[in-house]
Structure 1
């Protein structure tokens, strides 16, 4: 062979190696496997996953064709969550979609190599998932579900429009995301001169009893974005309706189930944005180079049916402060 031919062959070989090292694309023959870990089933997390899948489908990643989702729900158990993450690592999935703070923490405990994209995480820095929003570092990034003004906006309404002096807060102290929210609530309460009455739970089975403990002691009840409590929100709604205690929640999907109001955004849209980020990673971007995203829109929404159930009269002035949800 001539030297020119040999040089050409070497060049082609180098080019093929370079191309094989590039990220996957929607047109790749290889079926991409995404491990989906979710701490528990509830409307917001489910909506986020729906949005995530829709983003991938809209960009050529068709479930059952070139992408497979291995979906594992931990049923609110951190040990289960860690087992799920470890199994994904053993199966060598291409990417882990971690839907909730505990799920993301378990995934990061299991691997520093497989890319992890999270969503529905309240405090990514406090949960020790990323170094900063701008420069996450490592193999993990995603979208937080915390709008900096969400809790303050809700409590402004609770204090100014409802005239509440005592607010019951039900949460799982074992969830890092809930601890962050409760600390924020306490800061707001201290400045406003209102009292926070805490009712802590460990499992979803504790939620009914915790709610009952607040009856006669509070003016309203607030449930933050807590996976344990939201998974058993029907128990809280039942007590609120029976005892005419106005119930406020931390996100819109729970509001639609039977709470009076929430300040929030669409978890489907949040999941969709997270899916677009995952595509960048699947196609070669490094998680460490993708800043953590935040929800953009924020609105107070009032559930008119829940207000009636809980003995709250809708004021005309609220039409200028909020949007209304009538069950449709």
Structure 2
């Protein structure tokens, strides 16, 4: 009797085992849409690295459907439509133009801003503490840094009277220029707007800046266009940027947050969302640390003598 029961138990186990294996839940592969207003390179690489640091494996626990507009904002609506049509679990959008394009296509798929200049003014969130919709993420504080950036520029080129403000068709730039104009007036500078709608317009606009005898340049934050640093150097224009990538390429100086950390924070938001958090309940983060980066080699090429009082203010000095 015992032997028969034992054989019967083995038989049941043998029959049941394939069913037990089949019943195990498959590992969820999260679908992430990624739309960049500019190039994908640095932002996407940093985002993926942070996802890996959080324990995700690309191709096994997440896949990315990515598009880059390379500064051609007219391409963004079509790219946003393509990404949304793939029904991703969450979408990361780099910079205001991309965020606006994705917002137009979906009010249900979670969207992570990476980053936004003016999330409330752009209509992306109701407030920083309570976004209230399907959008949350990171703000960059560039508007709040404008006056300080111009003050730093004035310390480096104290005799300058006219500063060119380089803009694009980015919808935040008109308001940022007004902030720059008022900030410039307070320290005795005249700020003039110059708009290069696309990267292809940059060379023409730099010729206009040179003809206008502007003595310095303030570059508003936008999707990364590395040629700007080269054009500024060729035009012999002392320039300040809102992030340090330009300074690494030979730009004179920058003042702003670590943009790569903003991309890392976007991955943190994605992690929270795929684990069940609602964008409406996730407060928008703002950077709290801002770095002044100075390139002394570029200063020498421009014939500038940087006061020691300015050099000691720098968080990083490139010799």
Equivalence for 2:315: 323
| Structure 2 Cα separation of the partners of residues 31 and 98 of structure 1 | 20
Equivalence for 1:29: 27
Q: Tell whether 2:181 aligns with 1:183.
A: no
Q: Which consecutive unaligned segments of at least 5 residues does structure 2 have?
A: 1-24
Q: Tell whether 2:161 aligns with 1:165.
A: yes
**Of 75, 90, 95, the match for 2:70:** 75
What does residue range 86-105 of structure 1 map to in structure 2 within 5 Å? 86-105=81-100
Equivalence for 1:215: 210
Which consecutive segments of 4 or more residues in structure 1 shift more than 6 A? none
How far residue 28 of structure 1 moved from its aligned partner, in angstroms, is 6.5
Equivalence for 1:152: 147
Verify the 8 A CA contact 2:94 2:113 in the aligned structure 1: yes
**SS in structure 2 of the partner of residue 179 of structure 1:** helix
How far residue 262 of structure 1 moved from its aligned partner, in angstroms, is 0.7
Verify the 8 A CA contact 1:199 1:214 in the aligned structure 2: yes
Equivalence for 2:12: none
Verify the 8 A CA contact 2:150 2:218 in the aligned structure 1: no
Larger radius of gyration: 2
Task: Output the TM-score relative to the length of structure 1.
Answer: 0.83
| Structure 2 Cα separation of the partners of residues 190 and 152 of structure 1 | 10
**Superposed CA offset, 1:172-220 (max 9, x none):** 1x21122232121012012223101221122211111111112251111
**SS in structure 2 of the partner of residue 258 of structure 1:** coil
- CA 1:52/1:238 → structure 2, altered by over 3 Å: closer, same or farther? closer
| Structure 2 Cα separation of the partners of residues 103 and 148 of structure 1 | 19
Verify the 8 A CA contact 1:134 1:292 in the aligned structure 2: yes
| Structure 1 Cα separation of the partners of residues 74 and 219 of structure 2 | 25
How far residue 238 of structure 1 moved from its aligned partner, in angstroms, is 3.5
How far residue 149 of structure 1 moved from its aligned partner, in angstroms, is 4.2
- CA 1:243/1:51 → structure 2, altered by over 3 Å: closer, same or farther? closer
**SS in structure 1 of the partner of residue 163 of structure 2:** strand
| Structure 2 Cα separation of the partners of residues 148 and 75 of structure 1 | 23
**Of 272, 289, 294, the match for 1:302:** 294
> Superposition RMSD on alpha carbons, in Å?
2.0
RCO higher in structure (CA 8 A, sep ≥6): 1
Q: Which consecutive unaligned segments of at least 5 residues does structure 1 have?
A: 1-26
Equivalence for 1:262: 254
**Of 297, 305, 315, the match for 1:313:** 305
Equivalence for 2:3: none
Q: Tell whether 2:196 aligns with 1:201.
A: yes
Verify the 8 A CA contact 1:49 1:268 in the aligned structure 2: no
How many residues are paired up?
A: 293
Equivalence for 2:36: 38
Equivalence for 1:285: 277
